Amino acid sequence: MIVVYRHNNGSIDAVSLNEIQDPAEHEKIVWIDIFKANEEEIKQVEILFNIKMPTKHEREEIELSSRYWEDSRSININSYFFVSFFFVENSKSHYNESVSFVLQDNILFTVRDSELQTFEIMSKMLMSNPKEFFSGYEIFMHIFDIRIDRDADLLEYASRESDEIRKKLLWEADAHSVELLRKISTLQEFTQKVRQSVFDKRRILTAMVKSPKLSQEIKQDITIMMKDLNSLVEFITIDGNTLDNLQNLFLAQTNIEQNKIIKLFTVASVVLMPPTLVASIYGMNFRFMPELGWHLGYPFSLGLMIIAGLIPLLYFRNRGWL
């Protein structure tokens, strides 16, 4: 699907590609959103606007030279957009989606394969405030600004989840479960993917601010956005350290619980050893054992076993081991 946004008598219309075959209409266009388009549709855009759109393989390249480059006519950008459904129990609920941006002749071309809330918000803003957007550069800046705000919300969500986990670890006795450890691990992956998205945008804007194709006003906006990204990077570092500490706290408290169980079994074994020794001695049934013919021999042996068990038990109790 290809949606073309163009100025029309003070407003902005969203039309299909077939409605702008006349080259005179190109000057009115500010944004062409290419969503899940097939090769034939992309080829039609390339011919109509004399442009080269990045392939899916090129959009997923991780080298910096593949994330941002310029030529005499256009600026080409491949950026990660973090997709999340605000569930951390399942790592498949969040991932990074590659989106391509091409800025040429004051038109923004976007190529994507997933529905992204950022683009829905941008479309509504564009339709409701047409006088604020005169070129594709402004639309691109707003898309990145919306995305940065979204990443900030995701990081705040991860921080709240971390606080909840910390409270459970410190105050709930039954908090040491495999599910909680899995949640910590998934939150770490969640934060790492947001970090990847934020770092990617910071690299792109750092390169973009040096472009001679941009106006001074847009460069000032980019500088402000980079400050916001730097603050997010600091927040990610703090949150990442917090999650690492939570994982260490979980493992430490798990070890403490295991040590308590081991100590309990150890004390039980030591307490039972003297009675077992007494029972073993009197269970040998040698022929010449005076106590075998004694009427009080049985209660005497039972009492001796009880006393032998109580002595180490009282000793451990006085030492504070129980």
- Domain encompassing residue 242: 2-255
Is pLDDT above 70 for 91? no
Q: What is the mean pLDDT of residues 6-16?
A: 81
Model pTM score: 0.73
248 and 272 belong to one structural domain:
no
**pLDDT per position as a tens digit, 47-61:** 888 888 877 777 677
272 and 166 belong to one structural domain:
no
Tell me the CATH number at 71: 3.30.460.20
**pLDDT per position as a tens digit, 227-253:** 998 888 888 888 888 888 888 877 777
Residue type (1 letter), 95: Y
Mean pLDDT over the full length of the chain = 81
Name the residue with tokens 């005497």: 300
Asked which of 226, 255, 284 is the last residue of a domain, the reply is 255
Is pLDDT above 60 for 287? yes
- Angle, helices 136-171/216-282, rounded to nearest 10 degrees: 20
DSSP for 211-246, please give it: -TTS-HHHHHHHHHHHHHHHHHHHHHHHHHHHHHHH
245 and 264 belong to one structural domain:
no
Cα distance between residue 14 and residue 4, in whole Å: 5
Q: Which residues contact 175 (CB under 8 A, 6 or more apart)?
A: 168, 169
141 and 213 belong to one structural domain:
yes
Strand 68-70: give its sheet, edge to edge: 11-15, 2-8, 29-35, 107-112, 94-104, 74-84, 68-70
Which pLDDT score, from 0 to 100, does residue 63 have? Answer: 66
The DSSP letter of residue 63 is S
Report the percent of the chain where pLDDT is more than 70. Answer: 93
Structure tokens at 203: 């690299």
Asked which of 210, 226, 255 is the last residue of a domain, the reply is 255
Q: How many residues does the chain have?
A: 322
Report the percent of the chain where pLDDT is more than 90. Answer: 2
178 and 281 belong to one structural domain:
no
182 and 305 belong to one structural domain:
no
Which pLDDT score, from 0 to 100, does residue 85 have? Answer: 65
**How many domains does the structure of the chain reveal?**
2
19 and 126 belong to one structural domain:
yes
52 and 81 belong to one structural domain:
yes
Cα distance between residue 108 and residue 104, in whole Å: 7
Q: What is the mean pLDDT of residues 70-93?
A: 73
- Cα radius of gyration rounded to whole Å, the chain: 35
User: Among candidates 11, 4, 43, which has minimal Cα distance to 26?
Assistant: 4
Q: Which residues contact 2 (CB under 8 A, 6 or more apart)?
A: 16, 17, 32, 33, 34, 35, 37, 41, 45
200 and 72 belong to one structural domain:
yes
Asked which of 255, 277, 309 is the last residue of a domain, the reply is 255
Tell me which of 29-43, 162-176, 188-202 is least confident.
162-176
313 and 241 belong to one structural domain:
no
292 and 238 belong to one structural domain:
no
Which pLDDT score, from 0 to 100, does residue 253 have? Answer: 75
